[in-house]
Amino acid sequence: MRTAILASGNGTNFEVLAKHFQSGDLPGKLALLFCNHPDAPVMARAHRLGVPTVSFTVKSCGGKVAYEKRLLAVLQEYRIDFVALAGYLRVVGPTILDHYDHRIINLHPAWLPEYPGLHSIERAFADRRAQTGVTVHYIDAGLDSGPIIAQCHVPILTTDTEDTLEARVHATEHQLYPLAMKQALTALNEKEN
């Protein structure tokens, strides 16, 4: 099973997953990091960890349709079986969804279906909820609406600032994502064998 991770930014979740692949905790091989921002810090993390990288932007492709066709060609060139989004700040369109049906997972910093989309941590903090959470789910054509693989609550403490809450959400992501990915990869392996 060959996995690609798609990311856009800093890459802390990418690095956690890459180390789990390298230690053998996750089945298969991390075969590719794709980043839609060539100068993003995640690229340096991938280089340091010896993970092959490809990067280009929507603008350099002349639009979303051409971008997704080029990305699909890259995924096929690397013989990718499974895709994980780790801070990939783009909606995945039908060109890729149709080819990787039930083979793309996403990490979301909220207890879905609460707070889909962007700024989930900030919105939960502003609403003064008792808790928020982290969700790993398959992606579909909706916004953070695909079938849920795993979730974990994160309390919002009365002493929290937005920064302290964000730090606890990220720490929870680093624990939950490898476990949920292992579950998804194992299920896919069993289905295909």
User: In degrees rounded to 5, what are phi and psi of residue 155?
Assistant: -65, 150
Query: Is 12 annotated to bind ligand?
Result: yes
Which residue among 20, 37, 102, 108 is the active-site one?
A: 108
Query: Is 64 annotated to bind ligand?
Result: yes
DSSP result, 153-175 = EEE--TT--HHHHHHHHHHHHHH
Go through 142-169 and write b for each residue having 16 or more CB atoms within 10 A of its CB, e for each that does not. eebebebbbbbebebeeebeeeebbebb
Query: Is 161 annotated to bind ligand?
Result: no
Query: Is 10 annotated to bind ligand?
Result: no
Coil, strand, or helix at residue 7?
A: strand
Whether residue 108 lies in the annotated active site:
yes
Query: What's the DSSP call for residue 46?
Result: H
Contact between 133 and 151 (Cβ < 8 Å): yes
> Can you say which residues are annotated as belonging to the binding site for (6R)-10-formyltetrahydrofolate?
64, 106
**Which sequence positions are flagged as catalytic?**
108
> Can you say which residues are annotated as belonging to the binding site?
11-13, 64, 106
